[in-house]
Structure 1
Amino acid sequence: MTAAIYGRDIMTDGEHLVPACPNETQIGVRIGLSVVIIALRGHQAVVLTTHAPDGAAALPFGPFDPVKDRTFELALRDFVAQQTGFPLGFVEQLYTFGDMGRASPRATPGPVAAREVSVGYLALTTGSHADTRHDARWTPLFDIFPWEDWRKGPPALLDTLRVHLLDWAGQDAKRRSRAETLFALAPECRWNEEKVLERYELLYEAGLVAEAARDNERDAAILLNDLPMTSDHRRIAATALGRLRSKLKYRPVLFDLMPDEFTLSSLQAAAEAISGLSLHKQNFRRGVERNALVSATGRFATDTGGRPAELFRYAGPDINGGSAPGLTLPGQR
C-alpha cells in the first residue's frame, strides 16, 4: 500500500508509514491513538490510566494500522477494550499531538525511525466500576493536576507555584503577565477554570513539571506532589479536561457522567468535581430548573444520611428537537 505524505511516496508495513524507495532513509510517521476516559467516583472526577513500558502512568493508547483499521474511532474502541476490558460510550476527537522536541505520544516501538503523532480523544462514561483488566485503574484527575482543584479555595501549592513562576519570569513582563493571569496570582486576575492546557504548558515551559525535565534531560525543578505521565499524555489529559470544562456551559455533557436517576446535590457535586469550583447551591439549582434540564421522578433517595432527597433524571433535548443547553456555574467567590 502506498500513500503520499509531505509530497513523498511512502509505504506502510501495517503500523508505520515508511519511504517506498528502499535506498532512502527510513523516516516516516507512526500514528497512535490516545483516549482520556473520564468518570465520576464519589465526589471525584477520575480518569482511566494504564502503565507504559517504562512504568509511568499512561492513557490507554495504541497504534493505528492504516491497512487493517477502517477508522480511527473503531481502532480506538478495539484496543481500549483489549487493554482495559472497558467498552467506550461517548467519544469525541480532541486534537492531533506530535510536536518535535517533546516526547510525543508513542503508539508502539518499531524498527523505523518514525515521527510520532497521536490523535487524542475524550470519552465519558457513567460507570467507574468497570472490570478493568490488566493494569488499568481509575486515577483522580486532581492527582494529575492538583493546581486545578479550587473547590475549597486556592490550592495550598499555589504559594509554591507563585514563588517559582515569578522567579522564572524575572524581569520579563510578558512571562510575568502570563503567570499572573493563568494562575490568578495578582488580585485583579480571575481564575479561569477552562485554561487547563495553557497552565500545564506554562509549567512545562518554566521547567516545573517532570515531563519538561525528562525531555530536556535534567532534574525536575520542584516537587508539586503531582502525577507525571509518560510521553505527552498529561498534555492530552489537560486538553481533554479544558475541553470538558468549556463544554459544561453550552452542552449538557455532565449527564453523560450521571446515572439514570440522581439527586440535585449529586449533580452539583459532579459539576464541582469537573470544574474544580465551589458552586452556589441555590443559584446552581435555579439554573438547572430555568433551563429545564431535569425532571422529577417522584421517587426519593434514602441513602443520603439525612432527609430523603428527591430523585431526578435528565430531561433530554427540547420538544423541537434542539440541543439542551449547558449548566450555569455560579461560583461562590
Structure 2
Amino acid sequence: MPVGEQGVRISLSAVVIALRDRQACVLTTESEDGATALPFGPFAPARDRTFELALRAFVTAQTGFHLGFVEQLYTFGDAGRDSPRATPGPDHRREISIGYLALTADATAAPAADARWTPVLDFFPWEDRRQGCPAAADTLIAGLRAWAGDDARRLARSERLFALTPAHRWNEGRVLERYELLYEAGLVAEAARDQERPAPPLAPGRAMVSDHRRILATGLGRLRSKLKYRPVLFDLMPPLFTLSGLQTAAEAIAGLTLHKQNFRRGVERTGLVEATGRLSTGTGGRPAELFRVSSAEAQGGEAMGLPLPAQR
C-alpha cells in the first residue's frame, strides 16, 4: 500500500505522576512482550465520544486507577521511529499517539497485577541533580563529545542542554530536548531498537516500549516548567503538609536541591499556604508545623508558581 494511503490509528497514552517515598513516580504497566509501558490504548471513533473519556476508561481497565485532572501534552507520530510503531496486519497503519499528563496525591498501590509506581528518574538518571552531576551523566557526556566530533553545531547543542561549560546553566525543564539529543546521538536503547542495531553499552535509564520514554520526557518537562508559574505541586500533596515536605516534593520533581530558607520565605510570600496551628510529629525530629493550601487559592484565586531557589 502506498505510504500516502496507509491510513492512521490514534492511540492515547497517560503520564500519571505521584509522590511516593520522597520520589516522583509514574504509573507504569507491561506490554505484551514484558517491556515497561505507560498506560495506553487505541481510540475507537465509533465507540469513544471523546479522547479524554477513552483515556480514563482504559487507564482504569489496565491499572485499576481512576484519573483525576488531566491535560493534553502533545501528539506524537514521527516517521522513521519504531515509536509510535505501525499497527500489525496487512494494512500496517501509521500510529499517532496523543499523550496526556495527570497528577495525583493518591499514590496507594496500583490494584492491577502488572501496574506499579516506578520512580521517574529511573528512566532519566541524568536528570537528577540533587547530589550534583550524577555518575550516569559522565558516560553520556563522553558519548556526546565523541558523537559531536568536529561538528560545532552538535557540540554547542550538547554543551547548552547538558550545561557542559560554566557559560551554560542547567535548565531542568528541557527534559525532552535532552532525551531527543541522546536519541539522535544513539546513546539510548530506543535509538538502537528503532535502527535495528545492538543497544549501546551502558545505555543509561530504563527503556520503554514504543515512544513511551519520549512521552514521559515530555510530561516531566511540562511539569517542571509549570512548577514556576502554576501551583501544580499541591495536586501531588496531601491536604496537610509541612514546608519541609513541600520542599522535598519540589526537589523530587525538579531534580534539584533547593535552598531551605529561601524556599520557605518564597512560599510564605506567595500566600499559597496557610498555617493550621497543628504540629506533625511524624518527621523523626522536632515537631513541624502543618500547613494547607490557602483558602484563597482553594477557591480559585490568582494562580502562581512556587519559588525554586537552587543551592549554589
TM-score calculated relative to the size of structure 1: 0.89
Say yes or no: does 1:43 pair with 2:22.
yes
- Alignment-derived partner of residue 310 in structure 1: 289
Deviation (angstroms), 1:28:
1.1
Shift of 1:111: 5.0
Q: 1:156, CA displacement in angstroms?
A: 1.2
When residues 319 and 262 of structure 1 are mapped into structure 2, their CA distance, relative to the original with a 3 A threshold, is closer
Structure 1 residue 222 displacement after superposition = 3.0
One-letter amino acid matched to 2:268: E
C-alpha displacement of 1:188? 1.6
Residue 106 of structure 1 and its aligned partner are, at CA, apart by 5.1
Distance (whole Å) between structure 1 residues aligned to residue 135 and residue 180 of structure 2: 20
Q: Equivalent residue for 1:221?
A: 200
Q: Which amino acid aligns with 1:44?
A: Q
- 2:293 is the counterpart of 1:329: no
Q: Following the alignment from structure 2 to structure 1, what is the Cα–Cα distance between the partners of residues 102 and 226? A: 13
- Cα distance between partner residues in 1 of 2:293 and 2:91: 50
Q: Is the 8 A contact 2:18 2:24 kept in 1?
A: yes
Q: Which has the larger radius of gyration?
A: 1
Q: 1:319 to 1:185 in 2, by over 3 A?
A: closer
- Alignment correspondent of 2:269: 290
CA distance in 2 between counterparts of 1:212 and 1:321 reads: 44
Q: Tell me what 2:137 maps to.
A: 158
Which residue of structure 1 lines up, in the alignment, with residue 241 of structure 2?
262
Are the counterparts in 1 of residues 122 and 205 from structure 2 also a CA contact under 8 Å? yes
1:268-315 CA distance string (max 9 Å, x none): 000000000000000000110000010111111111111110100011
Distance 2:298 2:253 in 1: 28
Q: How far apart in 2 are the matches of 1:138 and 1:270?
A: 16
Alpha-carbon distance, 1:224 to partner: 3.5
Counterpart secondary structure, 1:200: helix
> For structure 1, which segment, 180-189 or 58-67, has the greater mean C-alpha deviation from structure 2 after superposition?
180-189
Instruction: Tell me the equivalent position of 2:40.
Output: 61
Taking structure 2 as the reference length, what is the TM-score of the superposition?
0.95
Q: CA deviation at 1:219?
A: 1.3
For this pair of structures, how many residues does the alignment match?
A: 311
Match of 1:132 among 111, 118, 124: 111
Distance 1:296 1:235 in 2: 40
Q: Is the 8 A contact 1:62 1:107 kept in 2?
A: no
Unaligned segments of structure 1, at least 5 residues: 1-18
Q: Do structure 1's residue 199 and structure 2's residue 210 form an aligned pair?
A: no
Cα distance in structure 2, aligned partners of 1:32 and 1:106: 11
Q: For 1:113, give the aligned amino acid.
A: H
In structure 2, stretches of 5+ residues that fail to align are none
Deviation at 1:26? 6.7
Question: Which deviates more, 208-217 or 24-33?
Answer: 24-33
Q: CA distance change for structure 1 residues 155 and 41 in 2, over 3 Å: closer, same or farther? A: same
Task: Find the partner of 1:241 among 214, 220, 245.
Answer: 220
SS of alignment partner, residue 191 of structure 1: coil
The aligned residue for residue 28 of structure 1 is 7
Q: Percent identity?
A: 69
1:301 aligns with 2:301: no
Q: List 4+ stretches of structure 1 deviating above 2 A.
A: 104-112, 316-324
Which residue of 170, 181, 203 maps to 2:149? 170
The whole-number CA distance in structure 2 between the counterparts of 1:133 and 1:319 is 32
> Shift of residue 317 of structure 1?
4.4
Alignment match, 2:77: 98
Distance in 2, matches of 1:323 and 1:108, equals 45
Separation in structure 2 between the aligned mates of residue 320 and residue 136 of structure 1, nearest angstrom: 34
Structure 2 CA distance for partners of 1:120 and 1:254, relative to 1, 3 Å: same
Matched-pair contact (CA < 8 Å) for 2:11–2:95? yes
1:122-163: CA deviation from partner (whole Å, max 9, x where unpaired): 000002114431300111011000000001111112221121
CA distance in 2, matches of 1:135, 1:162: 35
Native 8 Å contact 1:107 1:118 kept in 2: no
Q: Name the residue aligned to 1:13.
A: none
CA distance in 2, matches of 1:275, 1:81: 28
Which residue number corresponds to residue 73 of structure 1?
Answer: 52
Q: 1:157 aligns to what SS in structure 2?
A: helix
What is the aligned-residue RMSD (CA, Å)?
Answer: 1.9
Structure 2 match to 1:118: 97
Secondary structure, counterpart of 2:53 in structure 1 = helix
User: Which structure shows the bigger proportion of residues in helix conformation?
Assistant: 2
CA shift for structure 1 position 52: 1.0
> Aligned equivalents of 1:90 and 1:108: distance in 2?
30
Match of 2:64 in 1: 85
2-side partners of 1:154 and 1:163: how far apart? 14
